[in-house]
Amino acid sequence: MPIGPLMVDVAGFSLTESERHRLRHPAVGGVILFARNFESRAQLMALTAEIRALRHPHLLIAVDQEGGRVQRFRSDGFVHLPPMGQLGALFERDRQAGLEAAHSLGWLMATQLRMAGVDLSFAPVLDLSRGISGVIGDRAFAREPAAIIALAVAYTAGMQSAGMSAVGKHFPGHGSIAEDSHIAHPVDTRSFSTIEREDLRPFLGLIERYIPGLMAAHVIYPAVDAQPAGFSRHWLHSLLRERWQYQGAVFSDDLTMAAASVAGDIVARVDAALAAGCDMALICNHPEWVDAVLAARSFAPEPVRETRLARLMGHGTVPSEAHFQHDPRRVRALAWVERLRDPRAEADAGWFLNEQ
């Protein structure tokens, strides 16, 4: 069965019959999980196994597991990861330590998810930490594009070593506007030259090193296009695909967010996102809206899109729990977590981290 262009969610700890029916629809290609879908690791593994068994190839299973305040699974053995801004602060004090910590935490986050049957986390955030956007805040690595690039390259390499592809967000940059696209309609009035010189640099830096996925922002940049970036053919096709020759997958942000309403009802939003160049459109928290799209539209197979999305499936060998518990990389990652959680522990942890 083809990988369809819609990513949807489910309500609880296991699938209902109506959800099984919805997820078998050929237009659906992925499932995004939330905190409401997590009770324990055993339950999560049962849920992902149930989702995987519905289709072949299996549906792409994703989550937002950035760390800090955006981490859906954070108990029953899942390490509560620090916000990425703490990696940036460490990098500013000690560049090599920051890079090592980023790689280690990228590996830890991805390994724990892969062991639970999750293919990818929508991470890392590539936005600038300018002290303007409350919704971004310490989710971003740093203020300076060069620091973001260095840390993101290390972090995504850690993810890759665990068999997980990275999805950078929120293209072309949400860090320079105060409004939250979940509840408002953000507009960034700066010129393209300014955006290119600042916010776009981390995205281009990761594209040049081939990041496999990007998520587009629901932000309007009127100096470039009247449509939010996720609905803009200029941003997604003319710039990403044609000028930058980007070959990875592009995701919309959640199309139920307030900022997406400029495109119309949910069917119009999906149409606009896919027409602009998104490979997969997210519809969260409104199963009835998913059903409306499935009733109104059929989507022809698109081999190029499906190939891009298939590359995001988890890959490589997933470690057993016993192997993970004794893996020195886990011990090292936990030491970094402790060091970042409590700066007073930095001196105590330093001897161990420097010896590994």
Residue 72 domain flag: yes
Dihedral angle over CA of 60, 305, 64, 324, nearest 10: 50
CA-to-CA dists, residue 126 to 146, 167, 314, angstroms: 11, 10, 22
269-284 pLDDT, tens digit per residue, is 999 999 999 999 999 9
Question: Where residue 62 falls among pLDDT bands split at 50, 70, 90?
Answer: very high
d(CA 263, CA 219): 12
Q: Which residues, 6 or more positions from 320, have their beta carbon under 8 angstroms from its beta carbon? A: none
- What pLDDT score was predicted for residue 132? 85
Mean pLDDT of 215-236: 96
- What pLDDT score was predicted for residue 234? 97
- 109, 116, 124, 111: which is closest to 52 by C-alpha? 116
Strands 213-216, 70-71: parallel, antiparallel or unpaired by DSSP?
Answer: unpaired
- What pLDDT score was predicted for residue 206? 98
Residue 250 domain flag: yes
Residue 138 domain flag: yes
Mean pLDDT of 59-85: 97
Residue 355 domain flag: no
130-187 pLDDT, tens digit per residue, is 888 888 999 999 999 999 999 999 999 999 999 999 999 999 999 888 776 676 678 9
Structure tokens at 222: 């009127």
Structure tokens at 3: 């990988």
d(CA 9, CA 28): 10
CATH number at residue 121: 3.20.20.300
**DSSP string for residues in 203-255:** HHHHHHT--SEEEE---B-TTT-SSBGGG-HIIIIIIIIIIS---SEEEEEET
Percent of the chain with pLDDT over 90: 89
> Is the CB of residue 173 less than 8 Å from the CB of residue 127?
yes
Mean pLDDT of 49-58: 96
CB count in 10 Å sphere of residue 77: 14
d(CA 299, CA 144): 41
Helix axes 287-296, 266-276, angle to 10 degrees: 70
Q: Looking at the predicted structure, is the pLDDT value of residue 13 above 90?
A: yes
> Which range of residues forms the domain containing residue 201?
6-315
Residue 344 domain flag: no
d(CA 70, CA 346): 24
d(CA 59, CA 7): 9
Structure tokens at 217: 């922002």
- What letter represents residue 278's amino acid? C
Residue-level length of the chain: 356
- What pLDDT score was predicted for residue 339? 94
Residue 65: its H or E element: strand 65-67
Percent of the chain with pLDDT over 70: 95
Mean pLDDT of 210-218: 96
Residue 329 domain flag: no
Residue 345 domain flag: no
DSSP-derived 3-state class of residue 5: coil
- Annotated catalytic residue, options 127, 188, 225, 253: 253
- Annotated catalytic residue, options 64, 182, 237, 315: 182
> Is the CB of residue 88 less than 8 Å from the CB of residue 147?
yes
Q: Is 182 a catalytic residue?
A: yes
Rg of the chain (C-alpha set): 20
DSSP-derived 3-state class of residue 8: strand
> Is the CB of residue 266 less than 8 Å from the CB of residue 292?
yes
Q: Please report, in angstroms and rounded to a whole number, the separation of the first and last CA atoms in the chain.
A: 46
Residue 201 backbone dihedrals phi, psi, to 5 degrees: -60, -45
> Is the CB of residue 151 less than 8 Å from the CB of residue 81?
no
In whole angstroms, what separates CA 66 from the centre of its chain? 8
Q: Is 25 a catalytic residue?
A: no
Mean pLDDT of 25-51: 98
- What pLDDT score was predicted for residue 9? 98
d(CA 144, CA 140): 10
Residue 162 domain flag: yes
Structure tokens at 50: 């149930």
- What pLDDT score was predicted for residue 131? 84
Domain count, the chain: 1
Mean pLDDT of 190-202: 96
Average pLDDT, the chain: 93
